[in-house]
Chains A and B, each alone.
Chain A
Amino acid sequence: MNQSEFSRRSIRKLFYGVLVLFSTQIAIAEPIHAKRIISVDSNATEILLALGVGSKIIATDITSEPLLKGENIQILGYHRTLSAEALLSLQPDLIVGSDHTGPAATVNAIQQAQINFIQLDSPESVAELSRNIHRLAKSLNREATGQALIDDIQQLENAIVSKQNGSALNMVFLLDLNDRGLSQAGRDTVGNALITLLHGENVSNFNGFQTVSLESILAINPDVIIVGKRINGAPEKEQLLARYPLLKNTAAGQAQRIVSVDASKLIAGLSITAVNQANQLAEIIFPSAR
């Protein structure tokens, strides 16, 4: 064994030794005292804020930025192209992400550096959202706040059911692509999750978002049209009707059931705000609630 090989090995040993020492320390204190949190998922950021640990977030991704406006935090860019070195350089003691967090090399580096890393699933139902809240609350030792939050959303869901009162409506979720037409939410999308939450029937039988013609929407003649509104966007409902006045002839148009939601709250799956929005929509949509 030559000298350089020896020293390389000893450096490596030292490195792993320090890592083990470091990680056991974290494991004891973990994650109850997380003081430097990085959240790279807008849904997670929302939950963290609701749990009252927003002040401990030191950096976040681009989708969470609007939630943390005015705070002095670092923006790490797009949540699928995070830089491992940038994450490590901020010395977080907890990173919260989702199944969208990437690239794989960065996720590996985080795991190798033995930093606490919570990867949430993108929720498609209130039950899954509650599970995420519970998981975060538990690891931050805020179970009481978490449970209150879960109860709140549960109540919202119950409120939606009582407003729906058995009526089954055909619904469609659209994104207005300006001059490039309309995009309709398919079966495996978050638009579908919103429709399911409203106990509606999604008229789409495909997966993903697909561009559709106005004519096909007129042919489907949905009872409810939900339009995704972008951040800073004009009220999408008026814009949609101005661009496609024929939509007034659909069942939804006739019954004033063309409604808009904030699409940015649906980027990472069903969020707390999205459930709130669904409850407000239910009030407009369902006849018994009117």
Chain B
Amino acid sequence: MSYAKYLPARPQGWRRGVRPMFCLLLLASILLSIILGPMTLPAKQSLLSIIDQFLGSELSQLNAFQTAIIWELRWPRTLLALFIGALLALCGAVTQGLFRNPLADPGIIGVSSGAGLGAAIAIVLLPASLSYLTTPVAAFLGGLITTLLVYRLAQSQNGGTSVLILLLAGVAIAAFSGAIIGFMTYIANDMALRELTLWGMGTLNGANSTSIWLSAMTCLCLLVFYQIQAPALNAFLLGEAEARHLGIHVEKLKLQLIVVTAIGVGIAVSATGIIGFISLVVPHLVRMTMGPDHRLLLPLSALTGAVLLLMADIGARVLLAPAELPVGLVTALIGAPFFAFLLIQQRKRLSTL
């Protein structure tokens, strides 16, 4: 059996340079994320400290306190931003492929609204002292349950699911959970209300080893799983009937992809709250530059998502220092205008689609 079809396609022409460039960009953003922060540390010494950490040398002249700032505050955030950004972008790319709809993001299968609902219930109704545990778990479960509900609603009697009904069911469920979130907001006390609002904006401030490991493992598993499904997703682009004729178990694939995506987004959301725009914009950016082949689109989306979220988090930490912005606001601030710019650029090409 040949595995060649799972491997990323070879880009042609100028596109050949895109992958290495993005890898370099990722490396640069990781370094920037470690160098920059509200505390001014000498950039050169910070870089030396990174070398020290990995090579065991003692080149850096930072004192123990400054080293701790880098390794106990900046490094965990950097890692979390990396994995969550990649995870969100990956899930976005797959959802757009699955729905053959460039406006789809994981929110469309109900996962975001479900996670929001779970978090709202945990924040408002469950004891505040346990909220560090209950909120992420409830958000994850909420996301998964609503997704399954949406899928069940879209299932017809002969066992098939229509993408259109899936979409509409997602809208209906999102509206319903929106209403319950509204009710939760209404009965919430002052404290819960503020927590709820902030949760909705997303932050990477709560990075700890559990959230980092969890998101890293999920990210890796999803990368591998999606890469294996990439040829099938490519066939999906032709239409469901065509994919079926190409020998793909359409229903099975749909269910698998939906559940796995719900798990991925659920974990991302439970670790950081809702961070918008990455899952919508990043796959688009990559598709516009590199074309729709999922074998290339998926890994590059992950890479770009990681870069974008890292950059946004640097912005969130530095822009208003010493105060801190919710990173979700920054991703939208960077993402939305860039997206609009690209749309204008490619208006002509897109209108023929």
A106 touches B205 (CB 8 A): yes
B56 touches A7 (CB 8 A): yes
A8 interface neighbour in B56, B63, B188, B324, Cβ under 8 Å: B56
B56 interface neighbour in A4, A18, A82, Cβ under 8 Å: A4
A83 touches B55 (CB 8 A): no
Give chain B interface residues in 302-346, CB to chain A under 8 Å: 317, 320-324, 326
A83 touches B67 (CB 8 A): no
Residue B242 is within 8 A (CB to CB) of chain A in the complex: no
Residue B161 is within 8 A (CB to CB) of chain A in the complex: no
B56 touches A89 (CB 8 A): no
Residues in B whose Cβ lies below 8 Å from that of A188:
189
A208 touches B322 (CB 8 A): no
Please, what's the 1-or-0 string for A75-95, where 1 marks a CB less than 8 Å from any CB in chain B? 111101111111111100000
State the CA gap A47–B74 with chains docked (Å): 34
B64 interface neighbour in A2, A18, A89, A90, Cβ under 8 Å: A18
A86 touches B72 (CB 8 A): no
Residues in A whose Cβ lies below 8 Å from that of B63:
18
A83 touches B56 (CB 8 A): no
State the CA gap A74–B322 with chains docked (Å): 7
Please, what's the 1-or-0 string for B151-167, where 1 marks a CB less than 8 Å from any CB in chain A? 00000000000000000
B69 touches A86 (CB 8 A): no
Residues in B whose Cβ lies below 8 Å from that of A112:
72
A3 touches B320 (CB 8 A): no
Residue B132 is within 8 A (CB to CB) of chain A in the complex: yes
Give chain A interface residues in 1-22, CB to chain B under 8 Å: 2-8, 11, 14-15, 17-19, 22
Report A155 CB to chain B, min CB distance, Å. 30
How many residue pairs link A and B with beta carbons under 8 A? The number is 112
B194 touches A18 (CB 8 A): no
Residues in A whose Cβ lies below 8 Å from that of B73:
84-85, 88, 109
Give chain B interface residues in 179-219, CB to chain A under 8 Å: 186-191, 193-195, 198, 203, 205-208
A88 touches B69 (CB 8 A): yes
| Residue in A closest to B38 when the chains form the complex, CB atoms | A86
Residue A209 is within 8 A (CB to CB) of chain B in the complex: yes
Residue A59 is within 8 A (CB to CB) of chain B in the complex: yes
B190 touches A189 (CB 8 A): yes
B198 interface neighbour in A7, A18, A80, A113, Cβ under 8 Å: A80
B194 touches A8 (CB 8 A): no
Please, what's the 1-or-0 string for B217-236, where 1 marks a CB less than 8 Å from any CB in chain A? 00000000000000000000
A86 touches B321 (CB 8 A): yes
A89 touches B198 (CB 8 A): no
Residues in A whose Cβ lies below 8 Å from that of B190:
189, 208-209
State the CA gap A85–B323 with chains docked (Å): 10
B40 touches A89 (CB 8 A): yes
- B residues contacting the other copy or chain, number (CB 8 A): 43
State the CA gap A78–B37 with chains docked (Å): 18
A82 touches B324 (CB 8 A): yes
Residue A255 is within 8 A (CB to CB) of chain B in the complex: no
| Residue in A closest to B188 when the chains form the complex, CB atoms | A208
B64 touches A103 (CB 8 A): no
Residues in B whose Cβ lies below 8 Å from that of A214:
none
- A residues contacting the other copy or chain, number (CB 8 A): 46
Residue B14 is within 8 A (CB to CB) of chain A in the complex: no
B56 touches A3 (CB 8 A): yes
Report B5 CB to chain A, min CB distance, Å. 39
Give chain A interface residues in 184-219, CB to chain B under 8 Å: 188-189, 207-210
| Residue in A closest to B73 when the chains form the complex, CB atoms | A85
Given A76-B322, A85-B38, A86-B39, the answer on whether A18 and B53 have CB atoms closer than 8 Å is no
State the CA gap A104–B203 with chains docked (Å): 12
A86 interface neighbour in B57, B74, B132, B324, Cβ under 8 Å: B324
Residue B65 is within 8 A (CB to CB) of chain A in the complex: yes
Residue B68 is within 8 A (CB to CB) of chain A in the complex: yes
Given A3-B56, A77-B323, the answer on whether A88 and B39 have CB atoms closer than 8 Å is yes
Residue B3 is within 8 A (CB to CB) of chain A in the complex: no
Given A85-B73, A85-B74, the answer on whether A4 and B54 have CB atoms closer than 8 Å is yes
Residue A105 is within 8 A (CB to CB) of chain B in the complex: yes
B54 touches A103 (CB 8 A): no
Counting chain A CB atoms within 10 Å of each CB, the highest count among B37, B38, B58, B186 belongs to: B38
State the CA gap A77–B322 with chains docked (Å): 8
Report A186 CB to chain B, min CB distance, Å. 8
| Residue in A closest to B37 when the chains form the complex, CB atoms | A85
Residues in B whose Cβ lies below 8 Å from that of A74:
322
Counting chain B CB atoms within 10 Å of each CB, the highest count among A90, A105, A113 belongs to: A105
A83 touches B317 (CB 8 A): yes
A77 touches B56 (CB 8 A): no
Residues in B whose Cβ lies below 8 Å from that of A85:
37-39, 69, 73-74, 317
A105 interface neighbour in B55, B68, B193, B208, Cβ under 8 Å: B208
Residues in B whose Cβ lies below 8 Å from that of A78:
323
Report B45 CB to chain A, min CB distance, Å. 14
State the CA gap A246–B116 with chains docked (Å): 40
State the CA gap A11–B60 with chains docked (Å): 12
A86 touches B323 (CB 8 A): yes
Residues in A whose Cβ lies below 8 Å from that of B38:
83, 85-86, 89
A selection of 16 A-B contacts at a CB cut-off of 8 Å is A6-B56, A7-B52, A7-B57, A11-B52, A74-B322, A75-B322, A75-B323, A80-B194, A81-B323, A88-B69, A89-B38, A103-B203, A105-B207, A113-B65, A208-B188, A210-B186
Beyond A7-B52, A7-B56, A209-B190, 16 additional contacts (C-beta under 8 Å) are A4-B56, A8-B56, A11-B53, A11-B67, A15-B65, A75-B322, A75-B323, A81-B205, A83-B205, A85-B74, A88-B69, A104-B206, A109-B72, A188-B189, A189-B190, A210-B186
What 9 A-B pairs come out closest when comparing CB atoms? A77-B323, A89-B39, A86-B322, A4-B56, A7-B56, A86-B38, A83-B324, A208-B189, A15-B64
